[in-house]
Amino acid sequence: MPAKKENKNLGSSLKKLEEIVNWFEEQKEVDVEDGLEKVKQGVELIKYCRSRLAEVKNEFEEVKKELDKENIK
Amino acid sequence: MVYSVSNYLDKLNIVLEGEKAKIKGEISRIEKREKTIYFDLKDSDGEPAVLNCLIFRSVYKMMGIEFQEGMEVIIGGEPNIWKPIGRLSIKVESVELVGEGVLQKAYEFLKKKLEKEGLFAPERKKKIPVFPTKIGLISSRYGEAIHDFNANLENIGFKIKFFDSRVEGQEAVPDLIKAIDWFNKKSDCEVLVVIRGGGSWESLQAFNNEAVVRAIAGSKIPVLCGIGHERDIPLATLAADKSVSTPTAAAQFISHSWRETKQYIYNLQAKLLNSFEELLFYQESKLTQNSEEIKNQFSSIYHKFPLLIEGFKRIFSIIGQTINNQKENLAKSTKTLKEKFTMAIDTANQQIKNCEEKIKIQDPKKQLRLGYSLVFDGEKIIKDAAQLSVGQLIKLQFYKGSADSQIKKIKK
């Protein structure tokens, strides 16, 4: 199911993003090159997450009840 | 127009078909068959009145009410005349208990029973997935609930499959069960949402129905219940994997992981950029500090350079002077040495001369020249007459020449 995969990606992207933010907080002295690399990764993740969270109209569909007329056994 | 019996009964049945009704009465004369249960419904007071009723076992089971003689109920159903014996009977589709006390008792009894079974236990509840997108919605298309739900759902592209179901009274039971069953068998929904606005205790009976409660507990898809209620919590709510008290709250719950994440992402982004900014600022200040330090060091070098040169110059001149001094010293000392040497030699010469003088003075030949003579006995010089004897031959040495002589007389 593609939707599930996407969800997983949003969840895992969030996790990765958290890890990056924590990484910054944990480092006492950050190398600028490393920091820049992490920020680049972080920005990509943010972009992705935002695209997943962008406002998209919900789809609403009523189920056709093929069994409606049938008696319950 | 004249009908045959059969035709007339058919005509009546067509008319009766739309005559669905709810009828209150007392159960009597229960007759249980394999697939159907027959019973009479009669008024408990007033003039005698009886309705023949039948209920399919499947429906009976779903209603979750154990029929007893004298039990007061409200049945819902449709009349029909069974032609072979010409009897009108009600095909029962729902049964409700009547009277608050009875309902309460039934509720308490079922609650205890299901509790004992562990149907409401937290450990058997499934987790509502984070970031769900496919939602199975179960409610009435006529109710406010569905509107409230949609209005409060975040627009992030949820795919909502809506299953219209009755939600009032016992008639709702088969619909609810069918809906849950359908989603589990035919959909890929990630969460089922069962909602209904608040209502009277009686109107919520479907959500206290054993079959419905079991269907919710048995759903493979996690179930979120948002059923408004005033007093006792509907048993369906207890059995659901997650429960909130209104349809609006259900929509908010479904949306919350998304909505919170929007804010969360924003926070993470701010944090990330702040961290990086801090890093850059730190590095910049470090750089400034370093360059300041370098500048200071350089300037101190610039500052010290003339001094150093001066110092070097001084040192060089000192060295030069020392070398010159040494040279001079050397020259001087060479001269002194030479002088001393010459002097020593002169002194030595003088001394030699003196010695020569002395030696010259002491020379015996000089004495001889003055007229003195030497007397030898062989090689020995005679200094004492006692050394001589008469007749002894001696030698006389003069300044010029010598003579041999013989001793005649010795005078001591």
**Which one of B178, B264, B272 has the shortest CB-CB distance to A42?**
B272
Confidence at residue B87, expressed as pLDDT on a 0 to 100 scale: 93
Domain map (residue ranges) of chain B? 5-98, 109-258, 366-406
pTM over 0.80: no
- CB-based contact A62 B141, cutoff 8 Å: yes
Q: Report helix, strand or coil for A27.
A: coil
- Compare A21 and B9 and report the one with higher pLDDT: B9
pLDDT digits (tens, 9 = 90+) for B235-285: 999 999 999 999 999 999 999 888 888 888 888 888 888 888 887 787 778
Highest mean pLDDT among A11-15, A42-46, B102-106, B235-239: B235-239
Return the closest-CA partner of residue B137 out of B213, B223, B245. B223
Q: At which residue do the structure tokens 């606005």 appear?
A: B197
Averaged over A29-43, what is the pLDDT?
81
Considering only CB atoms, which chain B residues are within 8 Å of A21? Answer: 268, 271-272, 275
Domain map (residue ranges) of chain A? 2-53
Average of per-residue pLDDT values in chain B: 87
Confidence at residue B188, expressed as pLDDT on a 0 to 100 scale: 93
Averaged over B59-76, what is the pLDDT?
89
Contact B55, B90 (CB under 8 A): no
**Chain A interface residues (partner B, CB cutoff 8 A):** 1, 3-4, 6-7, 10-11, 14, 17-18, 20-21, 24-25, 30, 32, 35-36, 39, 42-43, 46, 49-50, 52-63, 65, 67, 71-73
Token output for B389: 């004897």
Cα–Cα separations (whole angstroms), residue B398 to B124, B239, B361, B393, B407: 164, 172, 18, 16, 17
**Which one of B158, B174, B276 has the shortest CB-CB distance to A35?**
B276
- CB-based contact B159 A54, cutoff 8 Å: no
- CB-based contact B163 A67, cutoff 8 Å: no
**Class of domain B109-258 (CATH, top level):** alpha beta
Q: How many CB atoms lie within 10 A of CB B96?
A: 22
Return the closest-CA partner of residue B61 out of B106, B95, B91. B95
pLDDT digits (tens, 9 = 90+) for B164-197: 999 987 779 999 999 999 999 999 999 999 999 8
Averaged over A17-36, what is the pLDDT?
81
- CB-based contact B268 A6, cutoff 8 Å: no
Does position B218 have pLDDT exceeding 80, yes or no? Answer: yes
Confidence at residue B333, expressed as pLDDT on a 0 to 100 scale: 67
pLDDT digits (tens, 9 = 90+) for B304-337: 777 777 877 888 788 788 787 777 777 776 667 6
Does position A3 have pLDDT exceeding 60, yes or no? Answer: no
Considering only CB atoms, which chain B residues are within 8 Å of A49? Answer: 261, 265
Does position B233 have pLDDT exceeding 60, yes or no? Answer: yes
**Which one of B156, B174, B273 has the shortest CB-CB distance to A55?**
B156
Considering only CB atoms, which chain A residues are within 8 Å of B133? Answer: 3, 6-7
- CATH for B5-98 is 2.40.50.140
Mutation choice for B interface testing from A60, A67, A68 by most B CBs within 10 A: A60
